[in-house]
Chains A and B, each alone.
Chain A
């Protein structure tokens, strides 16, 4: 699956699509950054309510395929700009983490 396939989920708002051909290997859900650093894997979609600059750093270091900001958490200008500069795919949604996971499972993840 590629990041572009996530467009099939209508509740996902694509805020920054830097590389839609990026492979998606799975999903990781978590808001504690050290936990994500320890347990996340390359290529995963990272679902979190955390929307700040440090999340971009973690996403880059872990080589996630996409950041998925859930629960209607707001993505401010600095955060979006950083995602654009660092070419991080960014999606925002009002769905909660469980609903995101269900929708992604529905796509075969």
Chain B
């Protein structure tokens, strides 16, 4: 039904959230309910800022199938998450001072993403992290 790819640029603090806004607008135009869009917005925003702050940027793929299943795949360019268990612990963060001064680094990113997604799959290596989320749109 719909396939779209978005680029996320490493350390581009000025445009963080831009892709998530585009995703939300596109899904709104398709006619998805506001409630599901708010969940998707939380997940995509958190994943997008992770790509900018912690990874080296990458791509976000959005797929919407005929059954209304929305799949978001966040594919960053590394350096991977050394300890996934810690990264999934509320409050644990490796954000630097610059990011913390801007209000990032609460250590809630992945926790929030998992909470609002219908399915959550993460694969990480030094070559990059692939986070795949699905949402039942209807």
Contact = CB atoms under 8 A, between A and B. Distances in A.
Interface of A: 31-38, 42, 48, 50, 52-55, 57-58, 60-63
B51 interface: no
A53 B14 contact: yes
Contact of B103 (A31, A38, A62, A63): A31
B20 A34 contact: no
Find the residue from B17, B38, B46, B115 having the highest chain A CB count within 10 A.
B17
Contact of B109 (A34, A60, A61, A62): A34
Contacts of A38: 42, 108, 112, 115
A62 B112 contact: no
Given A32-B105, A54-B103, 18 more contacts: A34-B46, A34-B106, A34-B107, A34-B108, A34-B109, A34-B112, A36-B103, A37-B45, A38-B42, A38-B108, A50-B103, A53-B13, A54-B13, A54-B17, A54-B49, A55-B103, A57-B17, A60-B17
Contacts of B34: 42
B20 A57 contact: yes
25 contacts: A32-B103, A33-B49, A33-B103, A33-B104, A33-B106, A34-B108, A35-B108, A37-B42, A37-B46, A53-B13, A54-B13, A54-B17, A54-B49, A54-B102, A57-B16, A57-B17, A57-B18, A57-B45, A58-B17, A58-B45, A60-B21, A61-B20, A61-B24, A61-B38, A61-B41
Interface of B: 13-14, 16-18, 20-21, 24, 34, 38, 41-42, 45-46, 49, 102-109, 112, 115
Contacts of A36: 103
Contacts of B115: 38
A62 B37 CA distance: 10
Contacts, number: 68
A38 B103 CA distance: 14
A81 B105 CA distance: 26
Nearest to B95: A34
A-B CB proximity, top 8 nearest: A57-B17, A34-B108, A32-B106, A34-B106, A61-B41, A33-B103, A50-B103, A38-B112
A62 B112 CA distance: 14
